[in-house]
């Protein structure tokens, strides 16, 4: 398996609290992505990064921020969690963006109560 | 709206039969990728077909791409119970430098013994 780890794997949090999810890779891939997966919506891109400190928005970026201070880590922050952000979050990495295959983490199941 | 859409949303067949899934997309791409997701797991890359290719094979998988119709199909021959999973196409939009890896809603395939 590609060296990609998401943490935590499960989290329950209360509405209005900040939450940070971490994606860590050991592959030195340039591109990193955050997705959310909900029934009936497939995978939707939240944010992605094309290098250290270089990020861009995806389809559903409202309510989320990201940071990438080093190649191996890509953090997803929910500044003030809402129940609509209850979802399964996946991180993916790719050496050449959409031009090559991506490798996915195991996912983080987030529940906002 | 999402760049790619899979059809059908769900497919149930008998073991040994062939399964065909389709993907349509909206904007120009330089490649199209298919992924598989087993229940509760991250996505796994299956095959990548470039825009100048019309057909590609990998084991029991056959992928076609018709750029004039903006569509692709994934054929799984001689299906097995282990093929039960959700299948997604990824269509990196060329207009955005193919950096974004955008997925559709997926096809849920069930292989009945």
Q: Tens digits of per-residue pLDDT, A43-89?
A: 999 999 999 999 999 999 999 999 999 999 999 999 999 999 999 99
What local confidence, expressed as pLDDT, does residue A97 receive?
Answer: 84
> Is residue B56 over pLDDT 70?
yes
Q: Grade residue B1 by pLDDT with cuts at 50, 70 and 90.
A: very low
Higher pLDDT, B47 or A2: B47
> Is residue B110 over pLDDT 50?
yes
The Cα–Cα gap between B62 and A44 comes to 26
**Cβ under 8 Å to B: A residues 72-101:** 90, 92, 94, 97-101
Closest partner residue to A42 (CB to CB) among B44, B88, B93 is B88
Q: Is the dihedral of CA A88, A94, A97, A99 positive or negative?
A: negative
What local confidence, expressed as pLDDT, does residue A1 receive?
Answer: 58
pLDDT digits (tens, 9 = 90+) for A86-103: 999 999 999 988 888 999
Instruction: Please name the residue ranges forming H helices in chain A.
Output: none
Q: How far is A7 from chain B (nearest CA, A)?
A: 14
What local confidence, expressed as pLDDT, does residue B2 receive?
Answer: 54
For a pLDDT cut of 70, what percent of chain B falls above it?
A: 94
Quickly tell me which residue has 């990728």 as its tokens.
Answer: B33
- Mean pLDDT of the region A31-41: 92
> Is residue A2 over pLDDT 80?
no
Residues B2, A44: C-beta atoms closer than 8 Å: yes
What local confidence, expressed as pLDDT, does residue A28 receive?
Answer: 95
What local confidence, expressed as pLDDT, does residue A86 receive?
Answer: 98
**Local structure of residue A18 (DSSP, 8 states):** -
Q: How many domains is chain A built from?
A: 1
Task: With H, G, I as helix, E, B as strand and everything else as coil, classify residue B70.
Answer: coil
Residues A102, B43: C-beta atoms closer than 8 Å: yes
**What is the CATH number for A10?**
2.60.40.10
Residues A43, B88: C-beta atoms closer than 8 Å: yes
> Is residue A32 over pLDDT 60?
yes
Q: Hey, what CATH topology would domain B4-100 get?
A: Immunoglobulin-like (2.60.40)
Which range marks the domain in which residue A30 is found?
Answer: 4-112
Annotated domain spans of chain B: 4-100
Identify all chain A residues contacting B33, using CB atoms and an 8 Å cutoff: 101-102
* A19-38 exposure pattern, b = at least 16 Cβ within 10 A, e = fewer: bebebbbeeebbbbbbbbbe
Please list the residues that pair with A49 across neighbouring strands: A32, A55
């Amino acid at each position: 398996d590609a060296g990609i780890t998401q943490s935590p794997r499960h989290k329950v949090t209360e509405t209005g609290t900040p939450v940070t999810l971490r994606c860590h890779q050991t592959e030195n891939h340039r591109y990193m992505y955050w997705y959310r997966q909900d029934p009936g919506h497939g995978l939707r891109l939240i944010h992605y990064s094309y290098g250290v400190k270089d990020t861009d928005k995806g389809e559903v970026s409202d309510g989320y921020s990201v940071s990438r201070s080093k190649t191996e880590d890509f953090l997803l922050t929910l500044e003030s969690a809402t129940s609509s952000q209850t979802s399964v979050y996946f991180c993916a990495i790719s050496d050449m963006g959409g031009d090559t295959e991506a490798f996915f983490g195991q996912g983080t199941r987030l529940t906002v109560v | 709206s999402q760049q790619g859409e899979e059809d059908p949303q769900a497919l149930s067949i008998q073991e040994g039969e062939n399964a065909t899934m389709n993907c349509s997309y909206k904007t120009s791409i330089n490649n199209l990728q298919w992924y598989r997701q087993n229940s509760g797991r991250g996505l796994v890359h299956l095959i990548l077909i470039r825009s100048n290719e019309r057909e590609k094979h990998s084991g029991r998988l056959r992928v076609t791409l018709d750029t004039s119709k903006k569509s692709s199909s994934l054929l799984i021959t001689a299906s097995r119970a282990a093929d039960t999973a959700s299948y997604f196409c990824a269509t990196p939009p060329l207009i955005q430098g193919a950096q974004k890896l955008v997925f559709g809603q997926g096809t849920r395939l069930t292989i009945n013994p």
